[in-house]
Amino acid sequence: MIVILRPEASQEAIDRLMAQIRGQGVEIHYSRGAQETILGLIGDTTHLDEDQLRASGVVADVRRVSEPYKLVNRRFHPQDTRVMAGGRAIGAGAFAVIAGPCSVESEAQLLEVARAVKRSGATCLRGGAFKPRTSPYSFQGLENEGLDLLREARRITGLPIVTEIMSEAQLDDFADVDIIQVGARNMQNFRLLRALGHSRKPVLLKRGLSATIEELLMSAEYILAGGNDRVILCERGIRTFETMIRNNLDISAVPIIKQRSHLPVIVDPSHAAGIAWMVEPLSRTAIAAGADGLMIEVHNDPLHALCDGAQSLTPAQFDNLMGDVRRRAAFEGRSLS
């Protein structure tokens, strides 16, 4: 980190600032030029508060030369992380396909979809039991009954289950969920992230609707800082000025995150597209960009789905897509596990 001081700063104020910085365990390289005085901060600066430095009154500008995240940073962990969940691997060459309905609606619906996606080669089953809906009048999910149905579907198909948590108060109820999903709307629920950091459970962290890539990585850092490195990141589209699609799949996020971080990254083309026919082209793009997996919504009767029917594939469409996904993933050096 580089701190540029105000030309009019008094030596006394500069000394005070330097003592404060050193007090936080950071070394300083002091450089006084004809135009500017600059402090080069050496060591781990991740815990330094830029705004606090600026508030000292003697600082003209602060520039970070290294990223504010440490544990998720590839710089300190060059090899890809592989997350194991329910006996399946994700990342470091292992490609995941997490498929299932947006929400668990009934035993018949879930079991039909679960059996179908298993037959087609999905590696995990998804299904929301607790749904974060924009309207309080929309279907909110079957809640604990939905969790029980997911357990039943796991017992029958052998697929690990992925489902969304809404609050840290639910952690006990989610103790046997294979991958706990943090939805886009909760990406910056920091208490939840901290609790998941202490839980040691595999976490699927989705990017917020308007979150930058750095904010997503900082949210993952919360979980790793608690001692849990079983984190999978998910690009699911962001909000832009475009109105013809539900969200804009930020495909550049995949190579950028893979360059910056060792954590696996998957893509959710369903929530990005908002419309079923676009799931296939976006899935192809995701694999080509280097994604470690896909999360795809599948419904046995999309027309009557209680949530996100328009973007849901039928089991037959999903089966078709899977042949292509398997070939393309293999071509890119990844295999379904």
When CB distances are held under 5 to 8 angstroms depending on the partner's kind, the choice from ligand PEP, Mn ion, none that residue 299 binds is none
Distance CA 73, CA 230 (A): 14
Interface segment toward ligand PEP; rule CB under 6 A; list 59-67, 166-174, 183-191, 192-200: 183-191
Contact yes or no for 28/22 (Cβ under 8 A)? yes
The two three-digit tokens of residue 45, written as one number? 């600066």
Q: How far is the CB of 131 from Mn ion (least distance, A)?
A: 8
Q: How far is the CB of 232 from Mn ion (least distance, A)?
A: 17
Figure out which of the listed residues 71, 90, 102, 298 binds ligand PEP, where binding follows CB under 6 A. Answer: 102
Torsion of CA 205, 210, 212, 213, to 10 degrees: 30
Q: Dihedral sign for Cα 10, 12, 17, 22, please.
A: positive
SS3 (DSSP) at 88: strand
SS3 (DSSP) at 82: coil
Figure out which of the listed residues 206, 230, 258, 262 binds ligand PEP, where binding follows CB under 6 A. Answer: 206
Q: How far is the CB of 64 from ligand PEP (least distance, A)?
A: 29
When CB distances are held under 5 to 8 angstroms depending on the partner's kind, the choice from Mn ion, ligand PEP, none that residue 206 binds is ligand PEP
Residues 45-104 that bind Mn ion (CB under 5 A): 102
Distance CA 334, CA 337 (A): 9
Total of chain residues touching ligand PEP, rule CB under 6 A: 11
Interface segment toward ligand PEP; rule CB under 6 A; list 40-48, 80-88, 182-190, 324-332: 182-190
Cβ neighbours of residue 51 under 8 Å, at least 6 residues apart? none
The two three-digit tokens of residue 271, written as one number? 């929530």
Write down the H helix ranges in the chain.
Answer: 11-22, 50-54, 107-120, 144-157, 190-199, 213-225, 253-260, 269-273, 279-289, 315-331
Identify which of residues 83 and 296 has a Cβ nearer to ligand PEP in the complex: 296
The two three-digit tokens of residue 16, written as one number? 């005070």
Identify which of residues 132 and 158 has a Cβ nearer to ligand PEP in the complex: 132
Distance CA 314, CA 302 (A): 7
Q: Is 184 in the site for ligand PEP (CB under 6 A)?
A: yes
Residue 328 CB-half CA count within 13 A: 22
Q: Is 236 in the site for ligand PEP (CB under 6 A)?
A: yes
Identify which of residues 16 and 133 has a Cβ nearer to ligand PEP in the complex: 133
Identify which of residues 186 and 199 has a Cβ nearer to ligand PEP in the complex: 186
Interface segment toward ligand PEP; rule CB under 6 A; list 61-69, 112-120, 177-185, 326-334: 177-185
Interface segment toward Mn ion; rule CB under 5 A; list 4-12, 209-217, 245-253, 303-311: 303-311
Distance CA 41, CA 65 (A): 10
Q: Closest by alpha carbon to 73, among 40, 48, 44, 42?
A: 44
Q: How far is the CB of 312 from Mn ion (least distance, A)?
A: 8
Figure out which of the listed residues 308, 313, 315, 325 binds Mn ion, where binding follows CB under 5 A. Answer: 308
Identify which of residues 3 and 86 has a Cβ nearer to ligand PEP in the complex: 86
When CB distances are held under 5 to 8 angstroms depending on the partner's kind, the choice from Mn ion, ligand PEP, none that residue 182 binds is none
Largest Cα separation within the chain, whole Å, is 77
Identify which of residues 59 and 153 has a Cβ nearer to ligand PEP in the complex: 153
The two three-digit tokens of residue 132, written as one number? 């974060």
The binding site for ligand PEP (CB under 6 A) comprises 102, 128, 132, 164, 183-185, 206, 236, 268, 271
